[in-house]
A and B are shown apart, each in its own frame.
Chain A
Amino acid sequence: MDPFEKIERKRQARHRIRAQRDRAGRLKTRVVAISLICFALLWGVVFVQMATGNDPVLSEFSSTIAKGNGGRNRHAAKAVPAETDASTASEELEASEAGEAEEFEEFEAEPVEEEFVEPAEEEFFEAEAEAEPEEEVFVEEEPAPVTTSQS
């Protein structure tokens, strides 16, 4: 092989490598830029939603609370009898786990519903308001009048 040809081939190989590296660099830059933009956009959407009060996560959570409250009590009730037999306890545990799974599936399956209730606080305040009239106002009767006449 001609030595000048060898040199030329090496020069071309280095040129191709350099081009590849440039392309890779430009690709990386694009990826980073696009990632940053997507990230910012995503947070922007979340911020707008939160600012306007439309928090989809909270809506879901409240509806699952309304439906799953009994479940929570049931969990607590099931957690209590730890002193029973091991067999019955394990059975109960399996049953509770199955129940939990079912209930969890229920929670996941059911969509957010609009029958959103805020019973706790309202009922509490209503109960307070109703309790006030129970206080009786004690009013002593007026003393009997007297008449002063010549003694």
Chain B
Amino acid sequence: MSTEAHRSFDCFGGTATIHVRATSTARGEEAADLARAKLLDAHRRLSRFSEESELTLLNGDPRWEVPATPLLRALADAVALAGSRSGGLVDATLLDSIERAGYRDSLDGDPSITLAEALSSRAERAPGEPHPDRLWRSVGIDEADGTVIRPPGVKIDSGGIAKGLVADLVAEELREHRTFAVDCCGDIRIGGSAGQERRVRVDDPFGGGPVHELKLRDGAVATSGIGRRCWVGADGGAAHHILDPASGEPAFTGIVQVTALAPSALLAEVYAKAALLAGPERADEWLPHGGVVVRDDGEVDVIAAERPLTELAVAA
């Protein structure tokens, strides 16, 4: 009986973890090493904090149509998917706004202010709205020519969608193995031929123990929140990296964290962010496969799935 291989390493501004059990321990170890290499490679190529990354070069290219690798084309495709699935709430073309808000460099490590301090510094609460220009609709790909098409000056931000996308791509390579979990900084894709359930604990944004635990056999879970990257903004008030697309300002909606389930990690990430931006009144509309919502006051709402992932597996 083989044991599950585990790898944990720094990636995408956080900690990534790989779990694989293959038919033999040696094959599991080999698969975990390969998955780790793919994740690190994707991080190097899609990081906006690196001047030599494919994404930075694409964002600085003055052409309308730019030759791009399959990975970059997948990211551009994910931009359009995220926008369309969230009604524009998840907009990956707000890079300039994020940098104006103060997120120019990687904010690895502890936030400069606590979540409680950030919440108390901002009194207003309002749901986010889509950007009126909806620039995400102008991003497309041409698979035949191998290019990304977008207006020059429209910059893609990988922060909101890349982790989920890469988790899905790496998980696709591990599908044949008995069990696997690709955890890309909290965006997790789970599956395996054995069909075994894996426990997933939902972290407490206020620093306590897990607020919820669920089990997942085949699917994905992602968590979006405002507590991990908080800093003091130019106006002296608290700022974080999840912006209201309409205003370009950090969103304070009454929700501090959302965990969403979905068939893929990319979709889970999109749903989690959309639910957070939608606010407490409409968050459940963006969680069709279920999720967990943590409000400003620490209250935890567990949202039941309208379409459980097991039903999707049967339908498929």
A contact residues around B163 at 8 Å (CB): 151
For residue A144, CB closer than 8 A to chain B, the reply is yes
For residue A73, CB closer than 8 A to chain B, the reply is no
What separation, in Å, do the CA atoms of A151 and B205 have in the docked complex? 11
Within 8 Å by CB of B186, from A141, A143, A148, lies A148
What separation, in Å, do the CA atoms of A142 and B181 have in the docked complex? 13
What separation, in Å, do the CA atoms of A99 and B3 have in the docked complex? 65
B contact residues around A147 at 8 Å (CB): 186, 200-203, 210
A contact residues around B179 at 8 Å (CB): 140, 143
A146-B225 in contact (CB<8A)? no
A143-B200 in contact (CB<8A)? no
A104-135 CB mask vs B (1 if < 8 Å, else 0) is 00000000000000000000000000000000
A140-B201 in contact (CB<8A)? no
For residue A145, CB closer than 8 A to chain B, the reply is yes
A151-B224 in contact (CB<8A)? yes
For residue A150, CB closer than 8 A to chain B, the reply is yes
Secondary structure type dominating chain A contacts: loop
Interface size on B, residues (CB 8 A): 43
B contact residues around A144 at 8 Å (CB): 4, 6, 19, 181, 198
B181-A143 in contact (CB<8A)? yes
Closest beta carbon of chain A to B150's beta carbon, Å: 24
For residue A149, CB closer than 8 A to chain B, the reply is yes
A151-B202 in contact (CB<8A)? no
B204-242 CB mask vs A (1 if < 8 Å, else 0) is 010000100000000001111111100000000000000
B246-282 CB mask vs A (1 if < 8 Å, else 0) is 0000000000010100000000010000000000000
- CB interface residues, A 72-113, toward B, < 8 Å: none
Closest beta carbon of chain B to A89's beta carbon, Å: 60
Closest beta carbon of chain A to B226's beta carbon, Å: 8
A contact residues around B190 at 8 Å (CB): 146
A142-B196 in contact (CB<8A)? yes
- CB interface residues, B 100-147, toward A, < 8 Å: none
* Contact flag A148-B188 (CB < 8 Å), given A142-B196, A143-B21, A143-B181: yes
What separation, in Å, do the CA atoms of A138 and B2 have in the docked complex? 12
Closest beta carbon of chain B to A105's beta carbon, Å: 63
B4-A141 in contact (CB<8A)? yes
What separation, in Å, do the CA atoms of A142 and B186 have in the docked complex? 20
> Which of A140, A142, A150 has the most CB atoms of chain B within a 10 A radius of its CB?
A150
A contact residues around B257 at 8 Å (CB): 150
A143-B196 in contact (CB<8A)? yes
What separation, in Å, do the CA atoms of A148 and B183 have in the docked complex? 8
What separation, in Å, do the CA atoms of A130 and B203 have in the docked complex? 50
A contact residues around B187 at 8 Å (CB): 148, 151
* Contact flag A151-B181 (CB < 8 Å), given A141-B3, A146-B19, A146-B198: no
CB-nearest residue of chain A relative to B178?
A140
Within 8 Å by CB of B221, from A138, A142, A148, lies A148
A contact residues around B185 at 8 Å (CB): 149, 151
CB-nearest residue of chain B relative to A149?
B203
* Contact flag A146-B181 (CB < 8 Å), given A141-B4, A151-B163, A151-B224: yes
A151-B14 in contact (CB<8A)? yes
- CB interface residues, B 1-21, toward A, < 8 Å: 1, 3-4, 6, 12, 14, 17, 19, 21
Closest beta carbon of chain A to B12's beta carbon, Å: 8
For residue B312, CB closer than 8 A to chain A, the reply is no
Sort A-B residue pairs by CB-CB distance and give the 4 closest, nearest first.
A150-B225, A149-B203, A145-B199, A151-B186
8 A-B interface contacts by CB (under 8 A): A143-B21, A145-B198, A146-B188, A146-B199, A147-B186, A147-B210, A150-B225, A151-B187
